[in-house]
Amino acid sequence: MNYILFDGPARNALLPFTFTRPVADILIGIIPIRQKWERYLGSTITTLTEEYLSEKYPMVELEENVMINASFLPNEILAEMVSNLEPNQAIFKGDEVIAFYTNDSQEEVDFDTYEIIDYSEDCITVKNTWDIFSKNGEAIREDFEFLTEDRKSQPIPSSVNVIAAENIFIEEGAKLEFVTLNASTGPIYIGRNTEIMEGSVIRGPFALCEGAGVKLATKVYGATTVGPYSKIGGEVNNSVLFGYSNKGHDGFLGNSVLGEWCNIGADSNNSNLKNNYEEVRLWSYETEGFAKTGLQFCGLMMGDHSKCGINTMFNTGTVVGVSANIFGSGFPRNFVPSFSWGGAAGFTTYTTSKAFATAKLVMSRRNVDFDEKEQAILEHVFEETKKVAKGIGGFRK
pLDDT digits (tens, 9 = 90+) for 340-390: 999 999 999 999 999 999 999 999 999 999 999 999 999 999 999 876 665
Residue 108: the pLDDT is: 79
Query: Could you tell me which of 243, 21, 24 has the C-alpha nearest to residue 126?
Result: 24
- Looking at residues 184-200, what average pLDDT do you find? 98
The rounded distance, in Å, linking the Cα atoms of 257 and 118 is: 32
* Mean per-residue pLDDT over the chain, rounded: 95
**How confident is the model over 5-40, as pLDDT tens digits?**
999 999 999 999 999 999 999 999 999 999 999 999
DSSP-based helix, strand, coil % in the chain, nearest 5: 20, 30, 50
Residue 103: the pLDDT is: 86
Phi (first) and psi of residue 269, to 5 degrees: -140, 150
Q: Categorise residue 233: left if φ over 0, alpha if ψ from -120 to 50, beta otherwise.
A: beta
Amino acid identity of 299?
Answer: G
Cβ neighbours of 242 (radius 10 Å): 29
- With a pLDDT cut of 70, the percent of the chain lying above it is 96
The rounded distance, in Å, linking the Cα atoms of 130 and 147 is: 25
Query: Could you tell me which of 275, 211, 280 has the C-alpha nearest to residue 246?
Result: 211
Q: Is 102 exposed, middle or buried (0-12, 13-18, 19+ CB in 10 A)?
A: buried
Span 128-264 CATH architecture: 3 Solenoid (2.160)
Helices 33-41 and 136-148 meet at what angle, rounded to 10? 30
| Alpha-carbon 107 to chain mean position | 31
- Looking at residues 88-112, what average pLDDT do you find? 89
pLDDT at 297 exceeding the cut of 60: yes
